[in-house]
Structure 1
Amino acid sequence: MTATTPTGEPVDTAQVLATGELELIGQIRNASNATLVCDAVLGDHQVRCVYKPVRGEQPLWDFPDGTLAGREVASYLVSDALGWSVVPMTLLRDGPFGPGMVQRWIDTPEPADGLPTRLDLVDLCSPDLVPDGWKLILSAVDSRGEDVVLVHADDPRLQRMAVLDILINNADRKGGHVLEGLDGQVYGVDHGICLHTEDKLRTVLWGWAAESIPVHLLDDVEVLLEGLRSEDSPLRDRLAQLITPAEVAALIDRTAAIVETPVMPVADRSRPIPWPAF
């Protein structure tokens, strides 16, 4: 991944994110933890990013080990090892409010004035407005007593994200954590409560429940498993610096289970969907 100078010269995005000065732009106030929008600036090079300092994290009783920032970076490493680019480039570094996670900002399309509003890839709508082929997740009644449904597109980019969420045991895949970038890719953000040893999968992406995982995705999962199990695994060593040994072992077990039984799980749990869903 590269950024460019004003004259179009490429520069390594990772280098700018890792070493550039973080210039504060603003704060995302509806986030549950301190979430700051910054520009990482290195000479003439600039990359917009999200900075979440560890000191701004709210303690979670069921995720007592390590940091949310560490889990965000670990989730990126898994996505990167799969070659899927689901999680935007994410790393740990020092910043103006201490160590924290820095993640490349994803630009999304702005609504076009005068054009009909289209559904997001994950959305709430009236039952009679669901596009053909979309996946129905749940039906509900809104505050006005109107029927609404939670739906998502039958999109291979989303299905890839759903498989990643199984691997990293994502406890918080909200609809608002799914971003369709200007580059045509679909990204997932906010992975601070992932990679627990216990099954905590909570997601809005249940549309493929009980279906077989496509072969091309399974091939990538098998490569990930080989990398995690190799005698001298750089990925396993890096993960061990971010999450506990038991959590690394649980990741390997989940990956092996998918390879052995390549079927998407079903929502047979007490809390299948995070709340709020967006």
Structure 2
Amino acid sequence: MPTAIDAERLQRLLLDGPLEVEGRLVEASNFVLRVWIDSDGERIPAVYKPVRGEQPLWDFPEGTLAGREYAAYLIARVGGWDCVPVTVLRPDGPLGAGSVQQWVGPLEPVTENDLLRIDPVAAVPSDYLPVLGVHDEEDQPLVVSHAAHATLRDVALLDVVLNNADRKASALIVDDDHLYAVDHGLTFHAEEKLRTVLWGFAGETLSQREIGRLEAVRDALAGVLGETLRGVIQQDELVALRNRVEDLLQTRQLPAPPDYRHPLPWPLW
């Protein structure tokens, strides 16, 4: 249920408005809260992820996930991806610094959608792209596939740019025919860590529209955006981000899954 407030005003409200805590989202692996902001008689829901509630990870620097959520929004905005909800990095939430993001979708979180499927081999829809083969408890072959929507391909390209290590199906939210992508805490690592359920687009040639997005990100990283990100992600991660964008502009195709590591998140949903 995205608000009708324009993005700039919403960004100010998320950054400066008083946050009323409703409660914890227990499905999240970290400590995540739903909060409300009052604005001119309208109550706006948002997701607040305090830094102090982040679980330590062996491969990501401690206390950096909220900043990565904000950095992902900045990249998406510059590149013209409208799939990432408005996000801010707030220094003074009820539990201290953290990210605050516009709530999208129904108020009761939906953990499954039809964007990703598991079917017997003969039952895979013709308009779905296969991702991998698996077997059920009776050792019957099944296929994991995802829809071939252009909006999903937009997310797939954005995830390559962000080096998203955790693109699950549950982090894709459809609301009023608009696709949103959330949960960008595990992004921007200096090492290649892309783990996604959207590998069905692998190897496809980038369109001129997609190349234009990458060029916009490249140019922004050479200016104000690059300076902004210096205070949000680490220097080696910023260098790796620039290199990924340049590599995409040179190859002009979406990458294939690596064969030297597991390329999928767990769980898939």
TM-score, length-scaled by structure 2? 0.90
Task: Tell me how large the CA RMSD over aligned residues is.
Answer: 2.4
Question: Residue 273 of structure 1 aligns with which residue?
Answer: 264
Give the C-alpha shift of residue 104 in structure 1: 0.6
In the TM superposition, structure 1's runs of 4+ consecutive aligned residues that sit over 3 Å from their partners are 2-5, 125-129, 142-148
Give the match for residue 113 of structure 1: none
Q: Mark the runs of 5 or more structure 1 residues left unpaired by the alignment.
A: 111-117
- Tell me, yes or no, if structure 1 residue 63 matches structure 2 residue 53: no
8 Å CA contact 2:160, 2:194 repeated in 1: yes
| C-alpha displacement of 1:139 | 2.0
C-alpha separation between the residues in 2 aligned to 1:119 and 1:247? 32
- In structure 2, the residue corresponding to 1:92 is in which secondary structure? strand
Q: Distance in 2 between matches of 1:81 and 1:121?
A: 26
Residue among 27, 33, 44 paired with 2:41: 44
Q: What is the Cα deviation at residue 140 of structure 1?
A: 1.6
**What is the identity, as a one-letter code, of the residue corresponding to 1:99?**
A
Distance 1:101 1:119 in 2: 25
Give the CA deviation at 1:78: 0.4
Question: Match of 2:162?
Answer: 168
* Alignment correspondent of 1:246: 236
- Tell me whether 160-169 or 127-136 shows the greater mean CA deviation: 127-136
Bigger drift between 208-217 and 72-81 goes to 208-217
Query: Is residue 205 of structure 1 aligned with residue 198 of structure 2?
Result: yes
Judged with a 3 Å threshold, the aligned counterparts in structure 2 of structure 1 residues 46 and 16 are, in CA distance, closer, same or farther, namely: farther
Matching residue of 2:105: 107
1:114-263 alignment runs, 5 A limit:
120-143=114-137, 147-182=141-176, 184-229=177-222, 233-263=223-253
Q: Quote the offset at 1:42 in angstroms.
A: 3.7
1:56/1:276 CA distance change after superposition, 3 Å? same
Cα pair 1:3 1:45 within 8 Å, conserved: no
Question: Taking structure 1 as reference, are residues 121 and 10 closer, same or farther at Cα in structure 2, changes over 3 Å only?
Answer: closer
The corresponding residue for 1:19 is: 16
Please report how far the alpha carbon of residue 251 of structure 1 lies from its aligned counterpart in structure 2 after TM superposition: 0.7
Cα separation, 2, equivalents of 1:250 and 1:256: 10
> What is the Cα deviation at residue 217 of structure 1?
1.0
Give the drift of 1:129.
3.7
Share of identical aligned residues, percent? 38
Deviation at 1:146, TM superposition (A): 5.5
Match of 1:73 among 65, 70, 74: 70
Number of residue pairs the alignment of both structures matches: 263
Once the two structures are superposed, what CA deviation does each residue of 1:25-50 show, in whole Å capped at 9, x if it has no partner? 22221211011111122452422111
The whole-number CA distance in structure 2 between the counterparts of 1:204 and 1:41 is: 37
SS at match of 1:159: helix
Q: Distance in 1 between matches of 2:20 and 2:120?
A: 42
Pair 11,248 (structure 1): closer, same or farther in 2 beyond 3 Å: closer
| Kept in 2: contact 1:123–1:175 (CA 8 A) | no
CA contact (8 A) 2:113 2:169 kept: no
Following TM superposition, by how much is the alpha carbon of 1:95 offset from its aligned partner in structure 2, in angstroms?
Answer: 1.4
Q: CA deviation at 1:145?
A: 5.3
Counterpart residue type for residue 98 of structure 1: G
SS of equivalent residue, structure 1 residue 160: helix
The 3-state SS of whatever aligns with 2:36 is: strand
Say if 1:4 and 1:11, in contact at 8 Å, map to a contact too.
Answer: no
In structure 2, the gaps of 5 or more residues are none
